[in-house]
Amino acid sequence: MSRFLADLHRLTDARALALFRILFGVLMFYEINFYFGIHLVDMGLVGPKYLFKYEGFSWVAPLGRDTMAAILGGLAAAALMIAVGLLYRLAIVYFLLGYTYIFLIDKGYYNNHFYLFVLLSFLMSLAPASRAWSLDRVVFKRWMRRDRVPYWTWIALRAQVVIVYFFGGIAKLNADWLLHQEPMRTVLAETMKGGALADLALSTPVVAFFTYGGVLFDLLIGPLLWWKRTRKYALPFVLLFNLTNHNLFDDIGVFPFFMIAATVLFFDPEEIARWVGGRRKAAARKGRGAAAEAVETVEPRMWWPLVNALLAVYFVFQLFFPLRWLVRSGDPDWHTIAQRFSWRMKISTRLPLQVDFFVRDDDTGLKRPVQLDRFINNMQAQLCVFDPRASVQFAHWLKEEMQRRGMKNVRITAEIVISHNGRPYRYLWPTDLDLSVVRIDLDHPEDWVPDPEGGPAYALPPGKLDELRRRVQLPTAPRTAR
């Protein structure tokens, strides 16, 4: 163990970490500009009347429109500063805090790669990533003479990427994925709908390739990239897997390209330094090889135990927190409790045909449909399809809103029609259930979450499915776990 800990603190070439810093900054700049393009501030942060809060973070709220736009603009500037290495520490800390703040405002736009960017920003904030290829070295050259970085700064980033892949594979070890080949069958059907290759895409060999190839890739790609002997054989599969995901899923943005860029983390820093800048003079002497080149130790420093403890706590959390669904009852991909922050990516698909809420006034007997876009945006409405908690939380808020408007005896019902992982269409909730009186119990989801097996209360009446299919109310793209 002492040898392992000492190896974490050995010094290695800073150019490899600088290369990842540049890639990270450029891709984050693209990501933030994408948020401006979809009008995230107006449509996602300050526009909705109701926001779906994360448990424990209900206190996180958006500021005014101009302030939120300034924060987002600051993130774009920080991403560029990260890329060029200008005031790097200030830029990465701002990016970490600002991005985390925006991420926590609403669950409606949760995506696993947003969480990954938060984690990597945290790890990058600990790393001296501007010791090479940075404006900091030009501006502050008097104080930045070191061109070596501790090895743990590199290996921590690599380990985090492996965790994403591996737990993505663990999540696929379920009956729907392995036995029913869902949701891949549904995703392929929706992606190829009307295309010339639709029949081929839904053939047994192709569906099996995507299904079982996906789980094998996730489980094995980390070790294959980590081990030098198999690394070059794994790289084509990284490209194939991530480019395929880019074409199959329309809601994962820059994530596939980021994971391709992140493969640089699996090469030895000294190896990368040789590619981009030639051998270091000190290691170019005759008779010295790559192994000798890679080892540069320093005397133990007083802060090493603190770094070791921080890394230990961080990675123990990363290894066990994604498994918390194991101590919950029920299917996490149905009730979604413990589904987020667990790398359960693209393993649950819900095709919505109807998402309607109704206000029933018991004093007058009137039942009125709710115009959802007056209160929430489309991504939040689809969250109500995917997460039963969201439907209930919105119903509670809607009842309070109606009571503020003078309606005293109000019930909130919903007609949400979905197909879950290729199963027949059904109501998510019984249509006569008052969702505003449902009480969420995270420890006992079986007491309030809709029955995953359905039943008479969830069955569509005759002709309902045909009627809904004739209505062009919602996009037919599947709402998948992101």
Task: Check residue 160 and give its pLDDT.
Answer: 99
Q: Please classify residue 54 by burial: count the beta carbons closer than 10 Å to its beta carbon, then call 0-12 exposed, 13-18 middle and 19+ buried.
A: middle
Task: Check residue 297 and give its pLDDT.
Answer: 58
Which of residues 343, 373, 408 is at a domain's end? 343
Same domain as 101, residue 187: no
Same domain as 376, residue 366: yes
**Domain annotation covers residue 27:** yes
**Domain annotation covers residue 278:** no
**Which range of residues forms the domain containing residue 310?**
151-267+299-343
**DSSP code of residue 179:** T
**AA letter at 305:** P
Give the predicted TM-score (pTM) of the model.
0.93
Which of residues 130, 150, 170 is at a domain's end? 150
**Domain annotation covers residue 288:** no
Same domain as 364, residue 313: no
First CA to last CA across the chain, in angstroms? Answer: 37
Same domain as 374, residue 334: no
**Domain annotation covers residue 273:** no
* 3-class SS letters over the chain: CHHHHHHHCCEEEHHHHHHHHHHHHHHHHHHHHHHHHCCHHHHHHCCCCCCCCCCCCCCCCCCCHHHHHHHHHHHHHHHHHHHHCCCHHHHHHHHHHHHHHHHCCCHHHCCHHHHHHHHHHHHHHHCCCCCCCCHHHHHCCCCCCCCEEECHHHHHHHHHHHHHHHHHHHHCCCHHHHCCCCCHHHHHHHHCCCCCCHHHHCCHHHHHHHHHHHHHHHHHHHHHHHCHHHHHHHHHHHHHHHHHHHHHCCCCCCHHHHHHHHHHHHCCHHHHHHHHHCCCHHHCCCCCCHHHHHCCCCCCCCCHHHHHHHHHHHHHHHHHHHHHHHHCCCCHHHHCCCCCCCCCCCCCEEEEEEEEEEEEECCCCEEEECCHHHCCCHHHHHHHHHCHHHHHHHHHHHHHHHHHCCCCCEEEEEEEEEEECCCCCEECCCCCCCHHHCCCCCCCHHHCCCCCCCCHHHCCCCCHHHHHHHCCCCCCCCEECC
Same domain as 146, residue 156: no
Strand partners, 368: 359
Reading the chain (482 residues) residue by residue, the pLDDT tens digits are 778 888 899 999 999 999 999 999 999 999 999 999 999 999 999 999 999 999 999 999 999 999 999 999 999 999 999 999 999 999 999 999 999 999 999 999 999 999 999 999 999 999 999 999 999 999 987 677 788 999 999 999 999 999 999 999 999 999 999 999 999 999 999 988 877 788 898 999 999 999 999 999 999 999 999 999 999 999 999 999 999 999 999 889 999 999 999 999 999 999 999 988 765 444 443 444 444 444 565 666 777 889 999 999 999 999 999 999 999 989 999 999 999 999 999 999 999 999 999 999 998 989 999 999 999 999 999 999 999 999 999 999 999 999 999 998 999 999 999 999 999 999 999 999 999 999 999 999 999 999 999 999 999 999 999 999 888 554 444 556 66
Same domain as 218, residue 138: no
Which of 103, 171, 157, 170 has its CA nearest to residue 125?
157
Same domain as 228, residue 260: yes
Same domain as 219, residue 137: no
Task: Check residue 145 and give its pLDDT.
Answer: 73
How many domains would you assign to the chain?
A: 3
**Domain annotation covers residue 290:** no
Task: Check residue 285 and give its pLDDT.
Answer: 37
Same domain as 134, residue 240: no
For the record, the structure tokens of 248 come out as 């199959």
Contact call for residues 391 and 437 (beta carbons, < 8 A): no
Which of residues 106, 135, 150 is at a domain's end? 150
Ramachandran region, residue 336 (left: φ > 0; alpha: ψ -120 to 50; beta: rest): left
**Domain annotation covers residue 3:** no
For the record, the structure tokens of 429 come out as 């909730």
**Domain annotation covers residue 216:** yes
Same domain as 337, residue 189: yes
Half-sphere exposure of 249 (CA within 13 A, CB side): 23
Task: Check residue 423 and give its pLDDT.
Answer: 95
CA 275 to chain centre: 32
Task: Check residue 198 and give its pLDDT.
Answer: 84
CA 9, CA 64: separation in Å to the nearest integer?
44
Same domain as 160, residue 136: no
> To 10 degrees, what angle do helices 204-226 and 184-191 make?
110
**Domain annotation covers residue 277:** no
Same domain as 70, residue 52: yes
